[in-house]
Amino acid sequence: MADHVQNLEEKVEMLETRIADAEDRARRNNLRLRGVPESGHAGHDGVSNSPSTTQADTGMAYRLHETFLKALCSGP
């Protein structure tokens, strides 16, 4: 019985390690932007679809998007 419990504990530890690794890999290419508010009303590209969105806001979002794409595609 003790061997069975030991085996199960080892398996749980191994699975927890694999889950943590999978979560880390899933976040690898994600960027966290500080100071940019997240909105539940944003479109797929992150730019608000509301009429109050100004041209300047849209232009800034586009420039940020282009900058991040260039940084990600350039590689190490």
Structural domain includes residue 45? no
Q: Which domain holds residue 13?
A: 1-28
Structural domain includes residue 46? no
Banded model confidence at residue 17, pLDDT cuts 50, 70, 90: very high
Structural domain includes residue 35? no
| pTM greater than 0.75 (yes/no) | no
Structural domain includes residue 13? yes
Structural domain includes residue 50? no
Structural domain includes residue 39? no
Coil, strand, or helix at residue 28? Answer: coil
More confident residue, 31 or 5: 5
- 72 contact partners, CB below 8 Å, separation of at least 6: 29
Which residue bears the tokens 């419990």? 5
Model confidence over 18-50: pLDDT tens digits? 999 998 888 777 777 777 776 655 555 555 555
How many independent structural domains does the chain possess? 1
More confident residue, 6 or 30: 6
Predicted pLDDT at 69 = 78
